[in-house]
Structure 1
Amino acid sequence: MREAIMGRKNRWSEIGRKAKKQKVLLLLLLPAIAYFFIFNYIPIYGVLIAFKNFRMQADQSFLKTILEAPWAGPFGLDHFKAFVNGPFFWKLLRNTFLLGIYSLVFGFPIPILFALLLNELRRKFYKSFVQTISYLPYFLSVVAVIGMMKMVLSPGSGIVNVLLTKLGLEPIYFMADAGWFRFLFVSSGIWTSMGMGAVIYLAALSKVDAEQYESAVIDGATRLRQMWHITLPAIKPVVVITLILNMSGVLSVGSEKIILMYNSLTYETADVFSTFVYRRGLVELDFSFGAAVDLFNAIVNILFLVTANYLARKVANESLW
C-alpha cells in the first residue's frame, strides 16, 4: 500500500516537473481549452430538454425553464419512444446510414490513394502544383459548391445536360431526382475534402527514412512493392486512427449541405436525422422532440466509435485508447 502511494506521488511530481518545463505551451493551450469548455461542456445541461416537455417562458431564464419543465413520462423517455415508433424513423435511419457509409466507403480511401500517388511524384514543382490545386475546393463554402453543382447540372444550360443532348440523350434533372441525390452528395464531398484529407498522410510519409527506399531499390523492389512494404506500413497508424474517427461520424451527416441540395422531390433519399431535427426542433419549435432525436443520434455514434476502436485494437493493434 505504501509503495503504491509513493508511486502515485512520484508520478504526480513527474507531471508537475513536465508542466513547469512546458508552461509556455500549456499557456498557449488555455484559449482552446476555454473555448471547448464554454461552448461545448457548459451547454451540456441542455440535454435535459430531451427528457422533458420544454416550453420557452418569457418571464423565466432558460436554465430555470429547463429545470421546472415537467418530465416527458416515466424516466423522461416519451419523446424517444414517439420517435422510434413514429412513421419517419426507419426512413431517416436508412438515409442517414447509407449517406454516412457511402461517404466512408468511397470517401475514406481516396485521400490515401491520392497521398500515395503524390508521394511517387519526384519533381517538386508538379507535386506542389497538384497539391495546391487539390486544396482549393476545401476552402469553398458549402453554398458556393452547391451553387456550382446546380449550374453544372442544370437541365437547360448545364454543361452535363448540354453534352447529353448533343449525344442524343434526354437531359436529366439531377437535383430533382431522388435516385441521383446520394451520388451527388458523396461525390461532391470527395471532391471538396480529398486534397485536405491527404495532408495528414503526406505528413506521415514525410517522416519515412529515404534510406529504406534506397535499400529496396538495391534489392530490386519495384515502385509498387516499395509502396506496399514501406509506404503503407508507415501510414498504417494514421489510417487506423482516421478510420476510427470517421466511423464515429457515420450517422453524423450534417444538415447544411443537405438543406441546400434537397427539395420535396428528393425527400425519399435525402431526409436524414439532422434535417429532421432542424425542421422539428427549429422550424416547428418542438425543442424537446428535436433534442431527443439529436441525442439518440449522438448515442448511436458513440456506439460506432467504441465498436470501431475495439475492432481496430483487436485487428490492427492500433486504437484511440
Structure 2
Amino acid sequence: MTGRRLTFWQKLWRDRMLLMFALPGFMVLLIYHYYPLLGNIIAFKNYRPYRGVWGSDWVALDNFRVIFEGDPAFMNALTNTLILTLLQAVLVFPAPVVLALLLNSLLSERIKRVIQSILYLPHFLSWVVVVALFQQLLGGSGLLNNFLRSHGYEALSIIGNGDLFRPLLLAQVMWKDTGWATIIFLAALATISADLYEAAAVDGAGRWRQMIHVTIPGLKGVVILLFILQLGTSLTVGFEQILLQQNAVGLQKSEVLDTYVYNRGVIGGNWGMATAVGLVKSVVGVILVLGANKIAHMFGEAGVYATRSK
C-alpha cells in the first residue's frame, strides 16, 4: 500500500533545508545568468545608451536584416566561424580522448601524475600570455626565425600569415586546453571495471583489442555527453584568442561572429544589430544541443537529459 501523495507545497516544506542550501547558488544563476537575458530586447530596438533600453525606439526585426539579407561582412564572419567550428570538432575535440587513452596506458602511476601535472599547466595561462608566447616563438623576430637566420636560412612568415591563421588557432587551443580536458576522460576510464579487462585477457585479447572492446565503449557515454554540450557553444570559437591576433591578420581571415558582434556593436555602436546576431547564435546553439540529444536517445544513449519513459 502506497502512502498519501504529497502536494507541491508539502514537498517544498519537507525539503526546506536542502532548498535553503541551494538558494545562494540559485540566486547567482538568477542574477548573473537569467536576469541579463532580458537585455536581448535590445535586438528589437534601435538602442541608444543615453535613452536607455525602454526609451529606445522599437524597430521589430530590422536589426535581423543583416542576417537574412546576407550582409557580406556578416557572411564572412559566419563562414569563418563554421570552418573553425568544424575543424575544432574534427581535430580539437578528439585530442583529449586520445591523450587520456595514452596516459591510461602508462604502467607507472608516478610518471602518469608528472605528465598530467605538466599538461595541466597551460590551461591556467590567460590567452594574452599564450598569444604572447606564440609570438615570441613564431613571430618575425621570434626564436624560430632568429635561429633560421643565424644558420643562413630564410625566415618563415607564420604570425600574421592569413593562410596559416586557422592552423595556428587550432595549435594554440590544443596546447592550452587538451591536457586539462583529459581530467573528465581519465575519471571515466577509472570507473571501468578491472574485471572487464581480466575477462578480455582470458579470452586472448591483447592491449589493443582491450582498448577497442572495453575502454572505448566505456568512454562512449561521456564522449557523447561532452560533444552535445560543446555543440551549445560551437559557434563561440575563441573571442579573446582571435581578437588579440586580428590586427596582424586582418578581418577577412579572422573575423568570426563574436568579434563581428564586438566590432559592430561595442566599437561601431550598432548595439541592436550586434545583439540580434548574438541572439540568433544562442538560439542556434540551443537547437543543436536539443537535436544532438535527440539523436543520442535514438542510439540508446542518455545524452544531456533522459526522456521520460512511457
Task: Calculate the TM-score normalised by the size of structure 1.
Answer: 0.86
Give the aligned residue type for 1:96: T
Specify the alignment match of 1:267 in structure 2: 251
Specify the alignment match of 1:107 in structure 2: 92
2:152 paired with 1:150: no
Give the aligned residue type for 2:251: Y
Specify the alignment match of 1:3 in structure 2: none
CA distance in 2, matches of 1:241, 1:7: 37
Report the CA distance between 1:70 and its aligned residue. Answer: 1.8
Q: 2:15 aligns with which of 19, 22, 34?
A: 19
Give the aligned residue type for 2:63: H
Q: What is the correspondence of 1:49-198 to structure 2 with a 5 Å cutoff?
A: 49-57=42-50, 65-72=52-59, 76-85=60-69, 86-156=71-141, 158-165=142-149, 169-198=153-182
Larger deviation, residues 134-143 vs 283-292: 283-292
CA distance in 2, matches of 1:280, 1:126: 49
Larger deviation, residues 308-317 vs 272-281: 308-317
Q: Unaligned regions of 5+ residues in structure 1, if any?
A: 1-5
User: Deviation digits for residues 52-108 of structure 1, max 9, x if unmatched?
Assistant: 111122xx6xxxx32232211xxx111111344222121111001111221121111
Report the CA distance between 1:168 and its aligned residue. Answer: 6.0
Does structure 2 conserve the Cα–Cα contact (< 8 Å) formed by 1:175 and 1:262? no
User: Deviation digits for residues 141-196 of structure 1, max 9, x if unmatched?
Assistant: 1110000011001223x233245546765322322111111111111101111111
Q: Unaligned regions of 5+ residues in structure 2, if any?
A: 306-310
CA distance in 1, matches of 2:152, 2:208: 42
2:5 paired with 1:9: yes
Specify the alignment match of 2:23 in structure 1: 30
Report the CA distance between 1:226 and its aligned residue. Answer: 1.0
Let me know the Cα RMSD of the aligned residues. 2.5
Q: Secondary structure at the match of 2:15?
A: helix
CA 19–293 in structure 1, closer or farther in 2 if over 3 Å, else same: same
Specify the alignment match of 2:33 in structure 1: 40
CA 166–226 in structure 1, closer or farther in 2 if over 3 Å, else same: farther
Does structure 2 conserve the Cα–Cα contact (< 8 Å) formed by 1:137 and 1:191? yes
Q: Secondary structure at the match of 1:319?
A: coil
Give the aligned residue type for 2:92: G
Q: 1:249 aligns with which of 221, 233, 240?
A: 233
Q: What is the correspondence of 1:210-229 to structure 2 with a 5 Å cutoff?
A: 210-229=194-213
Specify the alignment match of 1:287 in structure 2: 271
Does structure 2 conserve the Cα–Cα contact (< 8 Å) formed by 1:100 and 1:249? no
Report the CA distance between 1:36 and its aligned residue. Answer: 1.3
Report the CA distance between 1:210 and its aligned residue. Answer: 1.5
CA distance in 2, matches of 1:225, 1:95: 39
Report the CA distance between 1:28 and its aligned residue. Answer: 4.3
Stretches (4+) displaced over 6 A: none
Larger deviation, residues 211-220 vs 48-57: 211-220
Report the CA distance between 1:35 and its aligned residue. Answer: 1.2
Report the CA distance between 1:16 and its aligned residue. Answer: 5.5
Give the aligned residue type for 2:277: V
The sequence identity of aligned pairs, in percent, is 33
Q: Secondary structure at the match of 2:49?
A: coil
Q: Secondary structure at the match of 1:244?
A: helix
